[in-house]
Structure 1
Amino acid sequence: MAGGGYSRLPNGSVVVALTLPSPDRLTQVRVLVRAANRARALTRLRNLGLRAVYLRGNMHPPTPDEITAVLHHPDGLVWRAAPQEAEELWHPIRALLG
Structure 2
Amino acid sequence: MAAGGFCKLPNGTVVVALNLPASTADGSLAVRVLVHAHNRARALTRLRNLGMRAVYLRGNAAPPTPDEITAVLHHPDGLIWRTAPDNGVTVTELWHPIRALLRHQEAARA
Q: Sort the TM-score into its range (normalised by shorter chain).
A: over 0.9
CA RMSD after TM alignment: 1.3
Counterpart of 1:23 in 2: which secondary structure?
Answer: strand
Over alpha carbons, which structure has the higher Rg? 2
Quote the offset at 1:23 in angstroms: 3.0
Match of residue 4 from structure 1: 4
How many Å separate the matches in 1 of 2:70 and 2:34?
Answer: 11
Normalised to the residue count of structure 1, the TM-score between the two structures is 0.95
The alpha-carbon distance between structure 1 residues 65 and 37, as it changes in their structure 2 partners (threshold 3 A), is: same
Quote the offset at 1:85 in angstroms: 6.1
On the 8 A contact 1:29/1:80 being kept in 2, the answer is yes
Identity %: 74
Cα deviation 1:31-51 (Å, max 9, x = unaligned): 000000000000000000000
The alpha-carbon distance between structure 1 residues 15 and 86, as it changes in their structure 2 partners (threshold 3 A), is: closer
2:35 aligned to which of 33, 46, 50: 33
1:88 aligned to which of 82, 88, 93: 93
Misfit runs of 4+, over 3 Å:
none
Quote the offset at 1:86 in angstroms: 3.9
How many Å separate the matches in 2 of 1:15 and 1:69?
Answer: 11
On the 8 A contact 1:6/1:17 being kept in 2, the answer is yes
In the alignment, structure 2 segments of 5+ residues that lack a partner are 104-110
In the alignment, structure 1 segments of 5+ residues that lack a partner are none
1:44 lines up with 2:62 in the alignment: no
Cα deviation 1:38-77 (Å, max 9, x = unaligned): 0000000000000000000000000000000000000000
Give the count of matched residue pairs.
98
